[in-house]
Structure 1
Amino acid sequence: MELNVTEGDVYAEARYNYQLNDTSYIGFDFYTDERFNWQIFSSKYFSKVGESQYIAAGFSYYYNDSWNDYSQLDANYWKLDADYYFTQNTSLGVEYDENSDYKFIFSHFFNRNVAVEASYSTVLDNVFKHSSFGSDIYATIWNTDVDVNKFELDLVVQF
Structure 2
Amino acid sequence: MKFRFAALPLMMLAATASAESYNSITTGGYTNTESGNADADTFRFGSTYYFAPLETRGPLKEFDYIIRTTNLYGDYSYTDFDGGDADDLTLGGEYFAANGFMGGVEVNEGDLEDTTELTAGYLFNPDLLVSISRVDPDEGDAQNYVNARYNHRLGGTDYIGFNFETDDDFDSQSLSSKWFTKLGGQTWLAVDGGFTNHDEIDNDWNIGAEYYFSKATSVSAGYEDSGLMGDIYDLGVSHFFNRNVAGSLAYVTRDDVDVDEFQLGVTVQL
TM-score under structure 2 length normalisation: 0.45
Cα distance change of structure 1 residues 112 and 77 upon mapping to structure 2, 3 Å threshold: farther
Find the residue that maps to 1:27 and give its secondary structure: strand
Give the structure 2 partner of residue 6 of structure 1.
135
Q: Whole-Å Cα distance in 2 between the matches of residues 36 and 120 of structure 1?
A: 34
Q: How much does 1:101 deviate?
A: 2.2
2:181 maps to amino acid:
S
Q: Whole-Å Cα distance in 2 between the matches of residues 34 and 83 of structure 1?
A: 34
Q: How much does 1:47 deviate?
A: 0.2
Q: RMSD over aligned Cα, in angstroms?
A: 2.1
Matched, 1:55 2:189: yes
2:207 maps to amino acid:
L
Q: How much does 1:158 deviate?
A: 6.2
Q: Whole-Å Cα distance in 2 between the matches of residues 108 and 5 of structure 1?
A: 37
Q: Whole-Å Cα distance in 1 between the matches of residues 251 and 234 of structure 2?
A: 6
Q: How much does 1:6 deviate?
A: 2.5
Give the structure 1 partner of residue 247 of structure 2.
116
Alignment partner of 1:92 out of 216, 219, 225: 219
Give the structure 2 partner of residue 41 of structure 1.
175
Give the structure 2 partner of residue 132 of structure 1.
none
Matched, 1:32 2:163: no
Give the structure 2 partner of residue 150 of structure 1.
261
Q: Whole-Å Cα distance in 2 between the matches of residues 90 and 121 of structure 1?
A: 20
Find the residue that maps to 2:161 and give its secondary structure: strand
Find the residue that maps to 2:184 and give its secondary structure: coil
Q: Whole-Å Cα distance in 1 between the matches of residues 175 and 242 of structure 2?
A: 31
Q: Whole-Å Cα distance in 2 between the matches of residues 12 and 158 of structure 1?
A: 31
Matched, 1:82 2:213: no
1:24 maps to amino acid:
D
Q: Whole-Å Cα distance in 1 between the matches of residues 244 and 132 of structure 2?
A: 28
Per-residue CA distance 1:76-113 (angstroms, 9 max, x = gap): 11000000012223211000122442100112345676
Q: How much does 1:5 deviate?
A: 1.9
Worse-superposed segment, 112-121 or 25-34: 112-121
Structure (1 or 2) with the larger CA radius of gyration? 2
Q: Whole-Å Cα distance in 2 between the matches of residues 31 and 117 of structure 1?
A: 30
Q: Whole-Å Cα distance in 2 between the matches of residues 152 and 111 of structure 1?
A: 21
Q: Percent identity?
A: 41
Q: How much does 1:114 deviate?
A: 4.6
Q: How much does 1:19 deviate?
A: 1.0
Q: Whole-Å Cα distance in 2 between the matches of residues 55 and 30 of structure 1?
A: 23
2:135 maps to amino acid:
T
Q: How much does 1:49 deviate?
A: 0.8
Q: Whole-Å Cα distance in 2 between the matches of residues 15 and 113 of structure 1?
A: 29
Corresponding residue pairs, total:
132
Q: Whole-Å Cα distance in 2 between the matches of residues 156 and 58 of structure 1?
A: 22
